[in-house]
A and B are shown apart, each in its own frame.
Chain A
């Protein structure tokens, strides 16, 4: 468990630090060199337009990582209240009104939805976050709902109602708290899903400039030079993979530890 935690932390730390601090360290853009040259003053070589790959790596993490994180946070900001309200209400119609539309949304293939919307609306990073969140909300709300329905039937909830406890305390103070391990596990996969979606959209050139500084765009645009300058593709690809793998290892380790302590 301990090595898993350390490995996860290391895997997450590198891309996260690069994404957050990279732009501060990037410095001014140097003169352009020849495309796809390894070395020659650029320790990761140059990319398809002759820019320094290291500088692109420093700059390119922020859009991917921030959009994915924002989308996950936004997903839960919507899914948690919806799922909890649907589970804790005794009005069947309200439960239906809250959950049924989401079921319809689930049926739409997420990538298609993102591609169509992004192509039609050409959103910025904020719009893209909202779009990715929209795709993830139905799944997350269903997970919250399914877990909360079980918790809501417990005598503890009945006892709290009997004591005149407020709905907000019952929902957040008890129900959501009892669900925290399920939600942590779900959030992990959710974040990876968001990363995947954001990267795929960028890789396909949706919602970003063709020469934007973005890990996913780098992977796509530098592909023609894979034989000449593999680092321009491999480094950003590895960073995305590390973030996805590391997040899950980290949550896994955290859940294991929580599991030991909280078991009854």
Chain B
């Protein structure tokens, strides 16, 4: 084997007598991916940061660290990019430090697998999708000429398509001779990428060696279980024809989208981040009115803006926000806000509305004592459920749910999905489930539609449960992503 690029030899990092990292040795070789795996809190990040010469405050360090210039791609790449400067300015500054020019910048972007560099260079970090931001940070590291790159949890919170792209990008980088230290607890990613694996537990190495010799890693296999395929062939409820939407700035978000939802049906809308899922949901809900095309509910056109919709129309189409905590008024108790929705949308008397709210909130597992408090006393997951209760308070016929399960733990998630399923059976509620949670789509959805860069791929396609449904064009990168 070649000489290692970077090496840790019996590294121990202790803070106030507690050993965060205890005698860890590892090597990063050129062109190879070394995976550092283990549960959260096992010392992965502390170990990796040692390669950068970074230690926690007041740490006692023993052992040997040999490392050249090391690039670091943090878990939340947005934090590593100056939000006030365009990507081009950021990268050119770094290039200038090393006496490089524009050609080098483009080469680095290319190596980081950012196609269409001209577009990316003109944008501000917040105008890029999470995956693109990660690649820009990677390009920064490459521009610095770092022979070793530490990548911290690159696939956490990413949809399967982006994940796929990330894996390919990292393996391409390794093929070019860069040594990669991958921190991950995603067994799929580790299995695909890693040449060597070092497993940590409580700061100690519990297993180490070439990837082939190690077990599949934490997690084990995950077989897809086909959910109950319901057939809800009710009459047509919602119909979307030739919908073209753009952002106020002019960027096109959706191109000629056709969509249909039947009464009582659940349609899962999949697609990677930046594909226009949220924009589509917001168009239906009347929150985004920059669009052409027709949206009809029961054959009657729906007003573009919810401000032009009647109470009945408002009640008929409800939207559950992805950012549930931000969708509540922080000055008023949660239950009061849910009751208010019932009162306004149905004209219910206040006392009755309060009772309705209590019942709905109890249905989503929130006790009255908790919901009598203001939103900041509730967790994100609890608010997510409260937001669902609020949307149900109007007795909607179509519920647009934007990533409502992403902040929930497994038990709560299945409770919420059960609630929606029951509600569908009882009231004929139709659900448009915007998600990249394949399991949720599988449990609840009758059909799946996939959005890819603002275009819908055949919606009467495969049943949920088929993984290929979510990957219409295998990993050819996100080229024209816009903000969702």
Contacts and interface: CB of A to CB of B under 8 A. Distances in A.
A156 B326 contact: yes
B394 A163 contact: yes
Contacts of A174: 329, 331
Contacts of B391: 162
A256 interface: no
A84 to B, nearest CB: 16
Nearest to A177: B331
Contacts of A159: 321, 327-328, 387, 390
B306 A264 contact: no
Interface in A127-158: 154-156, 158
Contacts of A164: 311, 314-315, 341, 344-345, 394
Interface string A162-182: 111110000001100110000
Contact of A162 (B318, B328, B330): B318
Question: Which of A90, A154, A164, A166 lies at the interface centre, i.e. has the most chain B CB atoms within 10 A of its CB?
Answer: A164
Contacts of A156: 326-330
B285 interface: yes
A165 B394 CA distance: 12
B387 to A, nearest CB: 8
B305 A90 contact: yes
Contacts of A165: 340, 344
Contacts of A119: none
A116 to B, nearest CB: 42
A237 to B, nearest CB: 42
Nearest to B313: A164
A161 interface: yes
Contacts of A14: none
A163 B327 contact: no
Contact of B321 (A90, A158, A161, A264): A158
B361 to A, nearest CB: 15
B328 to A, nearest CB: 6
Interface residues of A, number: 18
A166 B311 CA distance: 11
A160 interface: yes
B373 to A, nearest CB: 14
Nearest to A165: B344
Contacts of B314: 162-164
A162 B326 contact: no
B319 A162 contact: yes
B159 interface: no
Interface string B145-167: 00000000000000000000000
Contact of A160 (B285, B329, B394): B329
Interface in B356-381: 376
Contact of A154 (B287, B307, B326, B341): B326
A34 B329 CA distance: 66
B323 interface: yes
A155 B285 contact: no
A163 B287 contact: no
A264 B326 contact: no
A155 B311 CA distance: 19
A250 B11 CA distance: 56
B390 A155 contact: no
B382 to A, nearest CB: 16
Interface in B321-360: 321, 323, 326-331, 337, 340-341, 344-345
Contact of B345 (A154, A155, A163, A177): A163
A161 B394 CA distance: 13
Nearest to B315: A164
Interface string B388-414: 001101100000000000000000000
A132 B337 CA distance: 40
Nearest to A161: B306
Given A174-B331, A177-B331, A163 B390 contact: yes
B327 A161 contact: no
Interface in A73-91: 90
Contacts of A160: 329
Contacts of B328: 156, 159
Nearest to A158: B287
B479 to A, nearest CB: 28
Given A154-B326, A163-B340, 20 more contacts: A156-B326, A156-B329, A158-B287, A159-B328, A159-B390, A160-B329, A161-B306, A161-B307, A162-B285, A162-B287, A162-B318, A162-B319, A163-B314, A163-B337, A163-B341, A163-B344, A164-B311, A164-B341, A164-B344, A173-B329
Interface of A: 90, 154-156, 158-166, 173-174, 177-178, 264
23 contacts: A90-B305, A154-B326, A155-B326, A156-B326, A158-B321, A159-B390, A161-B307, A162-B285, A162-B314, A162-B319, A162-B341, A162-B391, A163-B314, A163-B341, A163-B344, A163-B393, A164-B311, A164-B344, A164-B345, A164-B394, A174-B329, A174-B331, A264-B330
Instruction: For the complex of A and B, list the 6 residue pairs with the smallest distance between their C-beta atoms, beginning with the closest.
Output: A163-B341, A164-B344, A155-B327, A159-B327, A155-B326, A164-B345
Interface of B: 285-287, 305-307, 311, 314-315, 318-319, 321, 323, 326-331, 337, 340-341, 344-345, 376, 387, 390-391, 393-394
